[in-house]
Amino acid sequence: MTVELRVLGEVELLVDGTRPDLGHARQRCVLAVLLVQANQVVATDQLVDWIWGERPPRRVRQLVSNYVSRLRQLLAAGGVVDEVVVERRGKGYVLLVDPDRVDVHRFRRLVAEARAETDRTRALELLERAAGVWRGEALAGLDTPWTTAARRGLERERFAADTDRLDLALRAGRHGALLPELTDRAALHPLDEHVAAQLVLALYRAGRQADALDHYRQLRTRLADELGSDPGPDLQHLHRRILAADPALATPTTRADRPPVAPRQLPATPAPFTGRASELVELDRALSAAAPDGGGPAARPGATSTNPAAGTVLISAIGGAGGIGKTWLALAWAHRNLHRFPDGQLFADLRGFSPAGPPTEPADVARGFLTALGADPDALPADLDALAASYRSLVAGRRMLVVLDNAAGAEQVVPLLPGNATCAVLVTSRTRLASLVDRCGARHLSLDLLTRGEARALLAARLGDRRVEAEPRVTDELIELCGRHPLALAITARHAATRPSIPLAEFAAELRELGLEALDHDTDPTAGLPSVLSWSLRRLTEEQRTVFALLGIAPGPDTDLRAAVSLTGLPEARTRKALRVLEDHSLLDRHPHGRYSMHDLVRAYAATTARDHLPEPARRAALERVVDFYRHTAHTADRLLYPHRPPVPLAPPAPGAHPRPLPDQEAALVWLDAHHPHLLAAQRTAADHGCHQAVWHLAWALSTFHLRRGHRHDGLAVWRAAADAAEHLPDAGTLIHARWRLGHAHAELGRHEEAIAHLHDALAVAERHHDPLQHARTHHALGWAWEQRGDHRRALEHARRALVLCRGLDQPVWEADALNSVGWYEAHLGQYDNARGHCRAALALHRHHQDLDGVADALDSLGFIDHHTGHHQQAVDHYRQALALYRDVGNTAEAADTLDYLGHPHAALDQHAQARAAWREALDLYRQLGRDTDVERVRGQLDDLDAAQGGVARSG
């Protein structure tokens, strides 16, 4: 028999996977005290003081005796009287139990063993097990003087243990997988210098030096503003070491078999969670039935069975109407079963029924999961199949839970399913996901409205038993007015809880006046929710209601204060106040780093409010302001990334739009990384409203960022939209530019025919309009497209024509680009003397104009020429200089190619270790970029190198 008693979450007794009802809150509190003080006598007077405080009820000792008696009966009914015994001892009670059966004592034992352990790997494993014992907030749902104090103390123990765990994990080189958790901890503990040091170190080791330094600067400012102090000596020392690029800070060497840090992405435990008892049991049964030995994914991973359903991935599809409690149920079940998934939990909101935008792309979710599992977020493959394959590889053999919330359909879910039976998947959706049931054997669980008893329990949990029992008829009326709908009940309870002096009858009267719609099975059960939401809006000012409505139509998955200021056209202080009021009214959620988002249902109502109550000119002006905010800030960022790029005309931002100033290139990259989804959404918004200039300009402003970060598919999408928009613009130059950029984007993805077609269209328009600048750039792009096809002779023809045209223009950087291209193609055709002359001339021009990208390109070309003419040491020198520059500007794609080239002169010099190191790093980057052909080629080079050395083993 398996018996477990829990206080690190809700107070629970678990007997062979079942959870007996432990009674009401006071009885559970008596059990909680005895569990925390297990095997120690607790005096009755102490119990009374801890549970009731200074105002105990009459005959309180008899109450305590009754509670203990009921607990004994409950233990007897569960058949665990031998494992758990409650005895009367002297003037108190003692609960006798094996400490390891109580989660808090098991947690403390694991932490103590870890701190006594000299083997860091073993210590880390123990601390990870200790972290997995927690299921949410300790003693959840209980509110007494003792539980409040005990909860704080337990949370301090948890924080200290997590700090030790994260220190060890950083020592083990797991900084990439730790970043989400460290970021959340820093947001929750903004003045804790140890927490800040952990995040700064992880960011630095992940190659995000700018982010690391920025977080240090933010903490230093906050400490000065709030405490009047500077960072401590340890954190200052770390800061100086980062500035000096101290090699001792580099990622420590780790064993390949060391287990990764378990991602813990589940949102907070729903509190309080009430009802859904039968559904929780059904999910438990599904998990047990899916495992070969009946133990769920956490059971023996290698077990076999004659059961034909065994060994498959458990997929439970929770279906039901919007707001019916699907996510609520999924998260409650997940937190209760954390112990069954020791290798981590992944969570994603798929936004399948978000009215303000399309569903989340599976590729975006896969990127997020890969990042949480330790992959480099800046160098992931673009193709969904490659992303899904990488994701399945990383979760293979791990006992994990994946929660996919709010799915639009099976096609959104299937790429995100693990390929092994050690994982379980929970999917929530408003549809029945029939094809997921048919194709993948998912178990469907449909949710309906709450029963009256469950609805009453929900209100009691939110408002307190006393308030509900004081107005029983009004409570019943509220339940009926809300249609027993969980979200409607929760919103109503929220308003009543924040106004405890107002009788419930007044809230019921307002709901009657607003006429919450009845729900029937043939319609969307959320139809009545606008009445509840409009009731919330009644308590807002006109300005706050306008802000609410505009947030419903803002581009992007969420917003921040600066974007909201431009969206609303209000001063920052008034915008901030409006956001705070909306947050207080449960209409807006605030997240770390100043992000604001709305639940799908709330955003749907906000969008409807905007359409119904704001004039069309006001809506259009707001969207123009926020689009201008994004495109002007993106323009500033692009100018910092590539200052030598000829600027494009840019009209001043719309009145009320306030673009963000960016101080340097690092800040530009950080902002673009953070706001990339918003920029793509802003371009779509501009296209939907016929703002053709904004569509074109956003594509232009994103092009350098897309090239450096390897966002090839996004690059194609934005230039396709820009080419369509350019058809409506009077300037032929924008059309030519958009078409050759579109051709270039197709070429990057290997779509040669489409690339050449668009480039020849651009060339024809350029010739027709006598535009030498775009004529030159189009020839340059054609050269690159033919190079991708392997036709260097044609590529050279176009590069020479580009050079002739550039020499007639006052564009020295472009002339240098053309010179380097001519030399590069000549080198591939064996014309090394001419090639060296052209590339040296390009290098001189780029250096004169301080164009780091161009300098790196020319050095890379000279390295290629040197190697192929036998000057291998010069080739190494040139390649290393180019590589350093590519890394400085964040050009991952070119850095991978240069590493690939660098291995060859090393091998020619018999520097096999250096060649292997370069090719292994190139291999890693090619994998991250999804360049499979290059991966196979470099693997072959490594095999040949090993064979030449007598079969030295290689990794990867």
Encoded tokens for 306: 């004659």
In 3-state terms, what secondary structure has residue 523?
A: coil
pLDDT digits (tens, 9 = 90+) for 600-654: 656 777 898 899 899 999 999 999 999 999 999 999 999 999 998 888 889 999 9
Task: Find the DSSP H helices in 228-305.
Answer: 233-243, 277-290
pLDDT number for residue 523: 35
Position 30 pLDDT exceeds 80: yes
Cα–Cα dist 371/376, whole Å: 6
Cα–Cα dist 833/826, whole Å: 9
Cα–Cα dist 548/532, whole Å: 15
Position 313 pLDDT exceeds 60: no
pLDDT digits (tens, 9 = 90+) for 677-704: 999 999 999 999 999 999 999 999 999 9
pLDDT digits (tens, 9 = 90+) for 817-828: 999 999 999 999
Identify which of 852, 821, 858 has the alpha carbon closest to the alpha carbon of residue 645: 852
Identify which of 212, 121, 199, 214 has the alpha carbon closest to the alpha carbon of residue 163: 199
CA distances from 547 to 561, 574, 577, 600, 619 (A): 12, 10, 10, 17, 11
Q: What angle do CA 671, 389, 361 make, to 5 degrees?
A: 45
- Residue where the block lists tokens 């419930």: 504
Ramachandran area for residue 397 (φ above 0: left; ψ -120 to 50: alpha; else beta):
left
pLDDT digits (tens, 9 = 90+) for 717-758: 999 999 999 999 999 999 999 999 999 999 988 899 999 999
DSSP state of 253: P
* Residues sharing a CB contact under 8 Å with residue 281, sequence separation 6 or more, in sequence order: 18
- Alpha-carbon 531 to chain mean position: 33
Q: How confident is the model at residue 705 (pLDDT cuts 50, 70, 90)?
A: very high
Encoded tokens for 394: 């990383």
Angle between helices 452-463 and 472-481 (to 10 degrees): 110
pLDDT number for residue 641: 93
Q: How confident is the model at residue 950 (pLDDT cuts 50, 70, 90)?
A: low
Residue that wins the pLDDT comparison between 838 and 256: 838
In 3-state terms, what secondary structure has residue 444?
A: strand
Position 489 pLDDT exceeds 60: yes
The pairing of beta strand 84-89 with beta strand 401-407: unpaired
Average pLDDT, the chain: 86
Q: Are 923 and 931 a contacting pair, CB within 8 Å?
A: no
Q: Determine how many CB atoms are found less than 10 A away from the CB of residue 243.
A: 11
CA distances from 386 to 81, 318, 363 (A): 54, 28, 9
Cα–Cα dist 648/634, whole Å: 13
pLDDT digits (tens, 9 = 90+) for 389-413: 888 888 887 889 999 988 877 889 9
* Residues sharing a CB contact under 8 Å with residue 364, sequence separation 6 or more, in sequence order: 677
Position 291 pLDDT exceeds 60: no
Identify which of 44, 6, 46 has the alpha carbon closest to the alpha carbon of residue 28: 6
Position 255 pLDDT exceeds 60: no
Give the helix/strand (H/E) hosting 733: helix 732-748
Task: Tell me the whole-structure pTM to 2 decimals.
Answer: 0.52
